[in-house]
Amino acid sequence: MMNIVQGDSFNLTITVESGSELIEELWFSCKKLDLCKQCTKVDDTTYIITLNTQETCNCTDYYTTYDITAKLKDNQINTVIYNGQLRVLKKENVINGN
């Protein structure tokens, strides 16, 4: 399970173990967070998804799910991770009022 703290930025590194040459794009989506973001390709097998503070600041303490979806070079769509577990933790402590 992934944990994200409300209002914090978050980075997730995704490593593709096989078939990376077939991938055109990789996407992170979470309905409850109202997010669908393209992952950034770092190299042939590594992608990063970054959620900034604005994307997590209005979240409250709850459990939800996310998907990682690959768009392949032949335009096929494959869900790589379906209903991955995600918990958004309520921010309890602040620094300088943030």
- All structural domains of the chain, each given as residue ranges with its CATH number in brackets, are 2-89 (2.60.40.10)
Which residues, other chains included, contact 68 with Cβ-Cβ below 8 Å and sequence gap of 6+? 14, 26, 27, 28, 39, 79, 80, 81, 84
Its pTM stands at 0.85
Question: Could you read off the pLDDT of 48-78 as tens digits, one per residue?
Answer: 999 998 888 887 778 999 999 999 999 999 9
53 phi and psi angles, rounded to 5 deg:
-60, -35
Is residue 30 within 8 Å of residue 10, measured between CB atoms?
no
Kindly state the DSSP code that residue 53 receives in the 8-state scheme: H
Confidence of residue 98 (pLDDT cuts 50, 70, 90): low
By C-alpha distance, which of 82, 87, 46, 47 is closest to 66? Answer: 82
